[in-house]
Amino acid sequence: MSETTIINVELRQDVGKGASRRLRREGKVPAVIYGGHKDPVALSLQLNELLHATENEAFYASILEIKVDEKNTQKAVVRDLHRHPFKPIIMHVDFLRVSAEQVLKMLVPVHFVGEEDSPAGRTSGVVIQHLITEVEISALPKDLPEFVSIDLSDMDAGDAVMLSDIQLPEGVEITALVAGEEKDVQLANAIHIKEDQGTGAAAAAEAEAALAEDELGEAAEPVEEDADEPAEISDEVASDKEAGGD
């Protein structure tokens, strides 16, 4: 874990919509901290300081130190954050108190490394797709990482890396995998694209669609019919047709 991020706050007594509007006019953000078997406490933060803090991804996925003064601090995580629909304003923040013995479930970002050095990354006509960019983990506060990494340096065209391929720090679990191996999914894959498809996400999507169409066409080839009985479509072909859909 890296150095704890300090969030300076003030205690506030006025609550309600009117009080929140007054705070926002003063360049402040209403907030609340709750949990930890204690009563909720209303807070306010300076908007500019909060916006600066939110530029760091660690703000969303690490333990924060909520600080009123030198003698009044509390460890917490961001539980909810409301932004204005179109203005660069944060409307409200919810903080959740944490304790050293409490296992936390948090969404943390996935960092993909080694992509440019991989065989797939150096192969013309191949696109590496990042299918999942954050995962939910569970850990004690002392073990909570700001992010998890997956190494793509060995990825070749046609390869895929799975959720279970993430190398986790000690004491950290991916909550989906705890539920069972059937929850394991692809994090990234490397697919071929055609020359007329260009590059990027749109090309990758087009390549996948073309691949699915080719597979559907192969599955739907005519089958020989008995003269007296109609041919039966296999469950596999029927499933493929339903997946191809409209």
Please report, rounded to a whole number, the percentage of residues in the chain having pLDDT higher than 70: 77
Q: Which residues contact 133 (CB under 8 A, 6 or more apart)?
A: 109, 110
pLDDT in tens, 194-232: 655 555 555 556 656 655 665 555 555 554 444 444 334
User: What is the average per-residue pLDDT within 29-51?
Assistant: 94
Domain boundaries, the chain: 5-99, 105-192, 201-244
What beta strand segments (E) does 131-196 contain?
Answer: 134-139, 148-151, 160-162, 173-174, 186-192
Q: How far is CA 140 from the centre of its chain?
A: 20
* CATH fold group of domain 5-99: Ribosomal Protein L25; Chain P (2.40.240)
State whether residue 5 is helix, strand or coil: strand
Residues 41/15, Cβ–Cβ less than 8 Å: no
Domain 105-192 in this protein, CATH class: mainly beta
pLDDT of 24 strictly over 60 = yes
- From residue 127, how far is each of 33, 73, 213 by CA, in Å? 44, 47, 19
Phi-psi region of 91 (alpha: psi -120 to 50; beta: other; left: phi over 0): alpha
The pLDDT mean for the chain works out to 83
Q: What pLDDT shows up at residue 5? A: 87
- Helix/strand/coil for 191: strand
Alpha-carbon span 97 to 74, nearest angstrom = 7
Rounded Cα distance between 214 and 37, Å, is 58
Query: Are 5-99 and 105-192 equal in CATH topology?
Result: no
pLDDT per position as a tens digit, 107-154: 999 999 999 999 999 999 999 999 999 999 999 999 999 999 999 999
Rounded distance between C-alpha atoms, residue 184 and residue 225, angstroms: 40
pLDDT, one tens digit per residue, over 48-71 is 999 999 999 889 988 999 999 888
Measured distance CA(151)–CA(238) in Å, rounded = 38
